[in-house]
Structure 1
């Protein structure tokens, strides 16, 4: 999965119903993307029988998304971290701040000129890191990094599963132009021809 670039970093606010199922707002641009690092934690179990391995289970538990961006604007800071703007227009972060989970979308450029598109369905961010440095003989850019925990979403898809990520590669078999062109108009919802029986 070699990629040579990344851009179009968006987020969508989440509204939760009483049962916790998510409804996504229209995506908006978060910032200009510099870097994204996604690491995944798996819940693993191995069953041994007859002196050997009988079953191995590896399931998604959570992930960590670290984003390097050019700047986090006031609106995104409020939405992602729970910071508030006071009456003088100053962004204030407190120890009691807690941001809401959001969906995060971005794309990565492949060497063949096509893009791989991503949506992470539920990410809860912490306070951004701030790096500052005095100007010396040369100019060094200091940019913020924000880290979030990636979780599965509460709302089941058409197969009754709880997705945590969707990804599509432009030009791959079965990936329509409509899917790609509409990637940022709304958070991607998995589409299946059949749905599980009720109660299943």
Structure 2
């Protein structure tokens, strides 16, 4: 069953991260199971890369597209300890105290999240993200309490196979949509056969599915 088409989007929820735990010899990542980041406030990501024109025969002969991923910020209420240790490279000592070292290495991860729509929620995944340590900020309590959030600076680049980002839409099948946060979804391009029909095969952690066949 296909999803209904949205006219608007708003809000942010269901932010998850899935650590990249290994890379194959072919450059394909292995993702851990997505983990929820509670307290999502906002996300703002800007597309990097611009199209440029190649001129010949007194005109635009070819357009060179350059998708260099995204950069931006994820604002959350408080960075969870599991994210700090798994992604930012911080460590817990035997007394349960979280500490940083100057030789700590950060880890790459997929970022999953959704925007609310008027018909159904639009679910996203950025495949190869890195995050920098947030600024520490707070202030004394006065007549009213002002909550200080924490902001992660994000950089989302392409996987070695060129994959940058995926999101659900009105043609997404129900199984894929419902299992979005069970594993990192990896698309497989549509294929055509000799009868003029096209089937869209998709894969994700834990198995693969084939969408309904359509006629071209």
In the superposition, the TM-score normalised over structure 1's length comes to: 0.85
Please give the alpha-carbon distance, in whole angstroms, between the structure 1 residues aligned to 2:165 and 2:70.
10
On the 8 A contact 1:64/1:150 being kept in 2, the answer is: yes
Which has the greater radius of gyration? 2
State the match for 1:188 in structure 2: 185
On the 8 A contact 1:8/1:32 being kept in 2, the answer is: no
Structure 1 residue 9 corresponds to structure 2 residue 15: yes
Q: Compute the displacement of 1:85 (Å).
A: 1.3
State the match for 1:147 in structure 2: 153
Alignment partner of 1:137 out of 134, 143, 153: 143
Please give the alpha-carbon distance, in whole angstroms, between the structure 2 residues aligned to 1:19 and 1:193.
22
Tell me the SS of whatever aligns to 2:106: coil
Structure 1 residue 120 corresponds to structure 2 residue 117: no
Q: Compute the displacement of 1:113 (Å).
A: 4.1
Tell me the SS of whatever aligns to 1:185: coil
Q: C-alpha offsets along residues 77-119 of structure 1, whole Å, 9 cap, x if unaligned?
A: 1112111112221111222222110001000012x14211000
State the match for 2:168 in structure 1: 168
Structure 1 residue 102 corresponds to structure 2 residue 109: yes
In the superposition, the TM-score normalised over structure 2's length comes to: 0.79
Please give the alpha-carbon distance, in whole angstroms, between the structure 1 residues aligned to 2:72 and 2:121.
20
Alpha-carbon RMSD: 1.9
Task: Say how many residue pairs are matched.
Answer: 185
Structure 1 residue 23 corresponds to structure 2 residue 33: no
Please give the alpha-carbon distance, in whole angstroms, between the structure 1 residues aligned to 2:59 and 2:101.
53
Pairing of 1:14-53 with structure 2 (within 5 A): 14=20, 15-53=22-60
Cα gap change, 1:94 to 1:192, in 2 (>3 Å)? same
On the 8 A contact 1:125/1:146 being kept in 2, the answer is: yes
**Structure 1 unaligned residues grouped into runs of 5+:** 157-161, 196-200
Please give the alpha-carbon distance, in whole angstroms, between the structure 2 residues aligned to 1:193 and 1:66.
33
On the 8 A contact 1:44/1:59 being kept in 2, the answer is: yes
